[in-house]
Every structure is written in structure tokens, then in C-alpha cells.
């Protein structure tokens, strides 16, 4: 590699070696991206997307044509009956919370089938006066066993007839474990339905979209949800979320997001329609760039002697690369390196803080065009053992690679 300002010869050599070792992995990533691009193209054609769909609407948005079209594009691409894609979702947590409140009623129980859900969902499920528990919705949890679903435990838990829905989390979140592949998820859905065909299966699909050629809704998930400032927004959608799945349930989700009776008939697009369509169109490629960045990060950090998950050539179902750094100082140094190679706020130093919704202090390197967008290069970590950092994103492989080299350099200097 040519000289790069502030990066030592040694780090560059490691980078070079790492990159040449993952050539075949990159080829596989390109193949998946092409398959997904084809799906997205077909969905745009089927929905007859035209310039009329990009018009800004205001007020009630009764005349808004973008809603139905973007919903169709998502549904078709994800192998789902229907989808609800809205700028009104303020985050992934909001979309997931809406999905849960849409289907659960007093007396029902939610079963977390893949262990404790993502940190921000804990407050949705239990605790405050607005949580599911305050509305009389019960909760049960079957922890993972050796990093995989505990089928015996799930079977036992399903004997509780009040269980109305099972939640599966695709991504590893802040756990140092393999993410669930879509085929693993498909198998778990089948297993749950074989025991209790009446139980709805809900998937937290955050970070997973377009990493593989299939999405959980194509394999029988009743609903799944995710964030538009992660994979499916392609880096262009300024905000938003989606819920996709069975038509009847998506309709309940629209009621839960807006108001019963309004459903999908109302809501303006705030001028964001074009960015949502274009972002989704770019998403298969953006995800491929993020995956290459993750693979490069894995190869470099393993070369430096750290445990990584997944391995450079390991199976991937989300865009996250976890690196076990082992100390608070190293986590901070890694995040500083990533932040320094971000387009926005590259001059600031990230520090751990008590973020709303999280139990531990969290550090976040996030210098994104869309604030907090983790399809753009970012790294974060809860400040707890084993001091693993979670890196994701990179709108272009080149920018991602530079960020990883900067992070590696910071670690090398310690």
C-alpha cells in the first residue's frame, strides 16, 4: 500500500497482507450483492416506481403516492406480503416496539427465543408505566446455549399457553457470539410452528438486511422490523424504520404506529420519499461495502492477535464485526481511530457515556452524515467485560478500510 498519513509502515503491511488474504471472501460478497440488486430492481419494476413518487407531500398526506409504492418495493424485495416503511419511525427500537405492541394484548406472553433482546428493548418489555408489562403482557426468555437457540428450552417454554409471540434476534447485538443466519432463523421458525402453529414469530432484523440472499419473512417470519439508518436506507434515507410481514399483522402495526382506523391511508412523506427509494436501491451495494470493511477489520485485528467474530471467512448474517480488545483503554483507542476517519466530527474524541436505553456506559464512534447512522462507518461498545468493540458500516470500502487502518494504528501505538 502507498504511504498514508499517520499510519506506520508496520500497520500498512499488516493491512496489505490482510486484504490479499480475503480476496475470495470479497468475491462471494459481490455475488450476494448482485442477487439482491436483481430483487430490488424487480421490485421497483413491479411497483412501477416513477418520478411522481418522489413528490413532497405535507399535512395528512392523503394524496401521497410514495407510501404505497415504497411499501410494495420493500415487501417484494423481502419476500413479504406487506410492509410499512415510514419516516415516522424514529429508530429501530421504535419500529421493534411498534411491532410488539401491534400483536401483543393483555394476558399474552412474549417469549424471547434467542436470549435477552437488544439492550434498548428491555425497557419496552419490562419496567416503566408504558412498557408491555404495564399493559399486562408477560415475558419469558430462553437464553442461548453455546451461542445457539436452546430448542429443548424453547419447547418447554412453549407449554405456557399464554405465549402469543416468539422474538428472534438475527444480529449478535452487543454479544460476542455468532449472528443467526437466515437459514438458522428459518429452521427455528419451523421448529416453533411445529410445536405451536398459533405462535407468531417476530424477528429483530436490524443490521441483517441484504447480507444474505433471503430475508426471514421469506422463510415464514410473521413480522420483522429494522431501521432505515442501518442497512436498508443505503446511507441515503435520513431517518425511518420498517415493519414487514403478513398483511393482516402489518395492518395492525400501522394502527399501532399511527391510530386505529388510520392504518396506511394517512401520513405525509416530509420530502423524504426520494431518499428512501434511492437509499433502498443503493442498499445491496452499501451493505456489500460494509461487509468488505468488516471482513478487512477481522483480518487485520486477527493479525494483531485479537479474537474476532466472525472470522474473516466466517458465515455472516449481519454487518457487525466484533473484536475482543480486553480493556477499556483499547476500546477507547479503537473508537478514536474510527472517529478520526469519519466524514463528520473527525476532530472530536468519543468518550463513554450513559446513553438512554442502555444499562452500561456506551462509547460510540459515529461521525455520520445522518446522525447515528450505523450503515456509515461506526464502532461502539458497552463498557463491560469482555471489552469487545462492535464495528459496522462503511458506505464505501475505501473509507471503511481507512478507518480500520486508523483504528489498528491506535492499538499498535499502545
Ligand X SMILES: *Cc1c(COP(=O)(O)O)cnc(C)c1O
> Where does residue 261 rank: exposed (0-12), middle (13-18), buried (19+ CB within 10 A)?
exposed
In the complex with ligand X, the residue whose CB is nearer, 14 or 113, is 113
Tell whether residue 181 is a contact of ligand X (CB under 6 A): no
In the complex with ligand X, the residue whose CB is nearer, 11 or 97, is 97
Q: Which residue is nearest to ligand X (CB)?
A: 92
Tell whether residue 120 is a contact of ligand X (CB under 6 A): yes
Report the nearest approach of ligand X to the CB of residue 24 (Å): 28
Tell whether residue 97 is a contact of ligand X (CB under 6 A): no
Tell whether residue 207 is a contact of ligand X (CB under 6 A): yes
Options 173, 178, 232, 279; binder of ligand X; rule CB under 6 A: 173
In the complex with ligand X, the residue whose CB is nearer, 169 or 399, is 169
* Closest alpha carbon to 381 in 227, 174, 178: 174
Tell whether residue 169 is a contact of ligand X (CB under 6 A): yes
Which region, judged by CB under 6 A, interacts with ligand X, from 23-31, 87-95, 106-114, 195-203?
87-95
Size of the site for ligand X (CB under 6 A): 13
Residues 212-251 that bind ligand X (CB under 6 A): 227
Distance CA 295, CA 26 (A): 8
Report the nearest approach of ligand X to the CB of residue 167 (Å): 10
Report the nearest approach of ligand X to the CB of residue 229 (Å): 7
In the complex with ligand X, the residue whose CB is nearer, 89 or 296, is 89
Is residue 111 a contact partner of residue 155, using CB atoms and an 8 Å limit? Answer: no
Options 44, 54, 101, 118; binder of ligand X; rule CB under 6 A: 118
In the complex with ligand X, the residue whose CB is nearer, 158 or 319, is 319
Q: Interface residues with ligand X (CB under 6 A)?
A: 91-93, 96, 118, 120, 169, 171, 173, 204, 206-207, 227
Amino acid at each position: 500500500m502507498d504511504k498514508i498519513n499517520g499510519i506506520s509502515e508496520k500497520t500498512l503491511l499488516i493491512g496489505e497482507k490482510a486484504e490479499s488474504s480475503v480476496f475470495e471472501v470479497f468475491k462471494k460478497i459481490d455475488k450476494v450483492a448482485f442477487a439482491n440488486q436483481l430483487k430490488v430492481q424487480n421490485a421497483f419494476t413491479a411497483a412501477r416506481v416513477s418520478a411522481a413518487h418522489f413528490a413532497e407531500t405535507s399535512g395528512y398526506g392523503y394524496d401521497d403516492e410514495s407510501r404505497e409504492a415504497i411499501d410494495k418495493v420493500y415487501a417484494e424485495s423481502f419476500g413479504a406480503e406487506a410492509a410499512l416503511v415510514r419516516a415516522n419511525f424514529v429508530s429501530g427500537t421504535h419500529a421493534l416496539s411498534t411491532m410488539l405492541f401491534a400483536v401483543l394484548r393483555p394476558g399474552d406472553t412474549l417469549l424471547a427465543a434467542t436470549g435477552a433482546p437488544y439492550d434498548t428493548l428491555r425497557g419496552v418489555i419490562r419496567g416503566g408505566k408504558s412498557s408491555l408489562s404495564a399493559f399486562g403482557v408477560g415475558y419469558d426468555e430462553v437464553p442461548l446455549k453455546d451461542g445457539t437457540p436452546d430448542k429443548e428450552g424453547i419447547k418447554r417454554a412453549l407449554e405456557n399457553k399464554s405465549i402469543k409471540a416468539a422474538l428472534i434476534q438475527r444480529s449478535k447485538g452487543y454479544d460476542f457470539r455468532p449472528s443467526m443466519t437466515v437459514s438458522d432463523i428459518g429452521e427455528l421458525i419451523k421448529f416453533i410452528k411445529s410445536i405451536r402453529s398459533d405462535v407468531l414469530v417476530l424477528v429483530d432484523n436490524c443490521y441483517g438486511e441484504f447480507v444474505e440472499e433471503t430475508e426471514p419473512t421469506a422463510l415464514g417470519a410473521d413480522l420483522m422490523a429494522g431501521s432505515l439508518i442501518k442497512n436498508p436506507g443505503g446511507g441515503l434515507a435520513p431517518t425511518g424504520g420498517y415493519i414487514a410481514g403478513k398483511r393482516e399483522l402489518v395492518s395492525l402495526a400501522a394502527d399501532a404506529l399511527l391510530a386505529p382506523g388510520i392504518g396506511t391511508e394517512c401520513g405525509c412523506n416530509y420530502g423524504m420519499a426520494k431518499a428512501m427509494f434511492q437509499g433502498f436501491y443503493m442498499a445491496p451495494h452499501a451493505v456489500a461495502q460494509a461487509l468488505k470493511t468488516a471482513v478487512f477489520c477481522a483480518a487485520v485485528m486477527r493479525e494483531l492477535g485479537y479474537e474476532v467474530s466472525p472470522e474473516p471467512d466466517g458465515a455472516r448474517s449481519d454487518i457487525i464485526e466484533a473484536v475482543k480488545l480486553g480493556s477499556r483503554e483499547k476500546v477507547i483507542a479503537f473508537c478514536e481511530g474510527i472517529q478520526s476517519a469519519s466524514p463528520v466530527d473527525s476532530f472530536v474524541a468519543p468518550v463513554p457515556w450513559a446513553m438512554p436505553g442502555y444499562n452500561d456506559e456506551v462509547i460510540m464512534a459515529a461521525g455520520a452524515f445522518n446522525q447515528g447512522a450505523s450503515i456509515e462507518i461506526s464502532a461502539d461498545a458497552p463498557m463491560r467485560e469482555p471489552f469487545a468493540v462492535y464495528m459496522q458500516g462503511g458506505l464505501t470500502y475505501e473509507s471503511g478500510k481507512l478507518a480500520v487502518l486508523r483504528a489498528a494504528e491506535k492499538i499498535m501505538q499502545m
